[in-house]
Amino acid sequence: MGKLENKLEKIVSLAKEASFKLALVDTVVKNRILIQMADALLKEKNKIVSANKKDLEAARRKRLSAAFIDRLTLDETRIQQMSASLIELSKLDDPVGGVIKSWERPNGLKISKVRVPIGVILIIYESRPNVTADCIGLCLKSSNCVILRGGSDALNSNKAIFDILNKVAMKNGIAQGSISFIDSTERKAVDALLKFDDYIDLVMPRGGEGLINEVKNKSRIPVIKHYKGICHVYVDSEADLNMAHRIVFNAKVQRPGVCNAMETLLVHKDAAVRFLPAMIKELQDAGCEIRGCALTKKVARNLKNIKSAKDKDWSTEYLDLILSVRVVDSLDEAIEHINKYGSRHSDSIVTDDKNNARRFLKEIDSACVFVNASTRFTDGYQFGMGAEIGISTDKLHARGPMGLEELTTYKYIIEGSGQIRR
């Protein structure tokens, strides 16, 4: 075992030891620490912004995309949002020790199913430094030790946030190793971490498709995938088109570089002529490239620069101002398209027809299914979870935004009075 592997083993073994101590920390203490962490982020905002500028300068030298730079950027508003998330977490119920259900057997045994921390969680993530604060806050409140391994493009930002928040935790007597940060940017660091199944209980990759597939294929540790977001909005024949216009624009343009942004717009043929020309014009004016099916191009033939959509466009997560558009014959075709090409993340229908809405909700196999709302609401903070550690596109053990409850497992507590099995 080389120097890097030895260093990493010390980190993960210390985290394992700390996990037993962190599981016993009182809710009042955890909440106090979260409030102090929120305050520390605001007090040290200049330090964070300064570190972030170094990452941004490097990203611009590499000529990375505008969407990537947006994900990477930390300004005063985003630091305030990070702080607010920690405050929100401090106000939420602590899931640890919560009784899911309890019952008594005929022989007098009293059985309870009780929430407990998962233990040690490894987060491997890319380019979004706010994830550092969210993951530390969520794991602290749910009494999980967290090991953070961010991408090299956000190293300075991540390290600054970690140093600030870990200092608060240590000052309050939290066991060393409860919050760990891997500063090695070597790819073999990830390979080594994924072998430590004796110490790490769960790994969560957050980033591009390549990262997630690499982690899934190499890990000895259980993985919850936060896979790509090929999100759809379907404008039904019975849609309020003014509402649809607002929802579609928001879902695509408000922040195109995130996983809950719309990547494909589906429009019923009966609404297409009335809806698409003006909608596409506004999207183009906002800098959005349109890749449309043959009917889309025909309906919006007076508009320039609509590219022909290829089959691969329907299964592409652009994370940019690019949108695939398809005109469909029916709700059935829309549902079939989404279930075929989607990533099981977030999909929305705009309709005034309650039966169509019910069918969409029932038949779309995604983590989050919306009626008359933007897919941009798939977010732990927006769901009232304070923050999320990611958005799971798996079905086990968690699905959708992962908040505090999703960061627990359970154990059975059985109380007896001398019973023996015969």
> What single DSSP character describes residue 226?
B
**247 in Cβ contact with 373 (< 8 Å):** yes
Write the single-letter amino acid at 394: D
Nearest alpha carbon to residue 230 among 312, 158, 118: 312
**200 in Cβ contact with 12 (< 8 Å):** yes
Q: What is 3-224+402-415's CATH topology? A: Aldehyde Dehydrogenase; Chain A, domain 1 (3.40.605)
pLDDT at 208 over 90: no
- Provide the 3-class DSSP secondary structure of residue 244: helix
Q: Is 113 exposed, middle or buried (0-12, 13-18, 19+ CB in 10 A)?
A: middle
* Angle of helix 331-341 versus helix 354-363 axis, rounded to 10: 20
Whose tokens are 């169509």? That residue is 356
Convert the pLDDT of each residue in 35-50 to its tens digit.
Answer: 999 999 999 999 999 9
Structure tokens at 229: 């977001």
Angstrom CA distances, 82 to 16, 39, 379, stand at: 27, 10, 14
CA 405, 409, 410 angle in degrees (round to 5)? 115
What pLDDT score does 338 carry?
A: 98
pLDDT at 227 over 90: no
**143 in Cβ contact with 31 (< 8 Å):** no
**206 in Cβ contact with 123 (< 8 Å):** yes
> What single DSSP character describes residue 314?
G
The residue-averaged pLDDT of 363-389 equals 96
The residue-averaged pLDDT of 219-246 equals 96
Give the whole-angstrom CA distance, residue 124 versus residue 148: 6
Would 3-224+402-415 and 231-377 be classified into the same CATH topology? Answer: no
Structure tokens at 111: 């059985």
Give the whole-angstrom CA distance, residue 96 versus residue 305: 55
Residue 103 main-chain phi, psi, to 5 deg = -160, 165
Residue 328 main-chain phi, psi, to 5 deg = -115, 155
Angstrom CA distances, 87 to 83, 284, 369, stand at: 6, 39, 28
Convert the pLDDT of each residue in 71-90 to its tens digit.
Answer: 999 999 999 999 999 999 99
Nearest alpha carbon to residue 341 among 309, 298, 312: 312
Convert the pLDDT of each residue in 312-349 to its tens digit.
Answer: 999 999 999 999 999 999 999 999 999 999 999 999 99
pLDDT band at 193 (very low <50, low <70, confident <90, very high): very high
Whose tokens are 């990375």? That residue is 64
Q: Spelled out in words, what is the top-level CATH class assigned to the domain 231-377?
A: alpha beta
Structure tokens at 381: 């903070």
> What single DSSP character describes residue 310?
P
Nearest alpha carbon to residue 6 among 204, 149, 148, 196: 196
> Domain locations in the chain?
3-224+402-415, 231-377
DSSP string of 133-169, one letter each residue: HHHHHHHHHTT-EEEEE--GGGHHHHHHHHHHHHHHH
Q: Supply the pTM of this predicted model.
A: 0.92
What pLDDT score does 207 carry?
A: 83
pLDDT at 175 over 80: yes
Write the single-letter amino acid at 29: V
**Mean of per-residue pLDDT scores for the chain:** 96
pLDDT band at 67 (very low <50, low <70, confident <90, very high): confident
User: Across-strand partners of 149?
Assistant: 124
The residue-averaged pLDDT of 296-302 equals 96
